[in-house]
């Protein structure tokens, strides 16, 4: 009587293809730096709440020479940069401890303003008018553009004239 081969794997049913090659993909990804992207997504868990409040990661890059380890770039407010500079070795040690190997060789601290770029740009955005223009301003804008023959150009110039005239109108004046 012949022995039947062990079919315990077959008895479990189908397995996902990703699970079959998970170890090989992880090993290949770690050699190419894909595992380091976890630094960007799980920053608070890796370095702790105190360092996460002080700085946040921006980029992880490998050198051109193919040297060992990557450079982690962190961003912090300008006033906090000296403290971040003093603690960058602690950041490097915590990140490398999370990976179990020297994934990060250097930490580069980059300073920024206390407010982000997006917040600073809101001051330059268009301000919505808080009131509708007065009928006198509308009439004056249409009189200004009346000599123009092309209807599209005339409408655009009326809008431009209305915008200019409404800015020149005193802010305390109420429309009738």
Cβ partners under 8 Å of residue 80, min gap 6:
54, 55
Range of the domain at 146: 132-168
Q: What is the DSSP code (8-state) at residue 171?
A: T
Q: What angle do CA 29, 35, 36 make, to 5 degrees?
A: 130
Per-residue pLDDT of the chain (176 residues; tens, 9 = 90+): 555 555 555 555 666 666 676 666 566 555 555 556 677 778 889 999 999 889 988 888 877 655 677 888 899 888 888 999 999 999 999 998 888 888 788 999 998 775 555 554 454 455 555 577 888 888 998 898 899 889 888 898 888 888 888 877 665 555 44
Strands 104-112 and 56-62 turn out to be: unpaired
Q: For residue 96, is it within any domain?
A: yes
Which pLDDT score, from 0 to 100, does residue 169 have?
61
User: Residues 113, 136: one domain?
Assistant: no
How far is the C-alpha of 128 from the C-alpha of 111, rounded, in Å? 33
Answer yes or no: are the C-beta atoms of 111 and 81 closer than 8 Å: yes
Name the E strands within the chain. 56-62, 70-77, 104-112
Q: Distances in Å between the alpha carbon of 70 and those of 39, 95, 106, 162? A: 12, 11, 7, 57
How far is the C-alpha of 67 from the C-alpha of 106, rounded, in Å? 11
Which pLDDT score, from 0 to 100, does residue 94 have?
93
Which pLDDT score, from 0 to 100, does residue 121 have?
47
How far is the C-alpha of 87 from the C-alpha of 70, rounded, in Å? 18
Q: For residue 126, is it within any domain?
A: no
User: Residues 37, 117: one domain?
Assistant: yes
Q: For residue 31, is it within any domain?
A: yes
Answer yes or no: are the C-beta atoms of 111 and 76 closer than 8 Å: yes
Which pLDDT score, from 0 to 100, does residue 124 have?
44
Answer yes or no: are the C-beta atoms of 96 and 102 closer than 8 Å: yes
How far is the C-alpha of 144 from the C-alpha of 96, rounded, in Å? 69
User: Residues 31, 110: one domain?
Assistant: yes
Which pLDDT score, from 0 to 100, does residue 176 have?
46
Domain count, the chain: 2
User: Residues 66, 85: one domain?
Assistant: yes
Instruction: Extract the tokens encoding 144.
Output: 């200004």
Q: For residue 3, is it within any domain?
A: no
User: Residues 69, 153: one domain?
Assistant: no
Q: What is the DSSP code (8-state) at residue 115?
A: S
């Amino acid at each position: 009587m012949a022995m039947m081969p062990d079919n315990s794997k077959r008895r479990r049913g189908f397995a996902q293809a990703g699970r079959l090659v998970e170890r090989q993909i992880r090993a290949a990804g770690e050699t190419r730096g894909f595992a380091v992207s976890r630094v960007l997504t799980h920053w608070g868990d890796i370095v702790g709440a105190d360092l996460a409040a002080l700085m946040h990661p921006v980029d992880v890059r490998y050198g051109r020479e193919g040297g060992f380890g990557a450079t982690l770039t962190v961003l912090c407010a300008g006033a906090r940069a000296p403290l971040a500079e003093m603690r960058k070795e602690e950041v490097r040690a915590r990140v490398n401890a999370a990976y179990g190997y020297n994934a990060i060789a250097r930490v580069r601290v980059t300073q920024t303003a206390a407010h982000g770029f997006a917040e600073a740009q809101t001051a330059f955005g268009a301000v919505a008018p808080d009131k509708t223009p007065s009928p006198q301003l509308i009439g004056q804008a249409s009189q200004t553009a009346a000599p123009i023959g092309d209807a599209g150009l005339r409408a655009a110039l009326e809008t431009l004239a209305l915008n200019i005239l409404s800015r020149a109108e005193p802010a305390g004046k109420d429309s009738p």
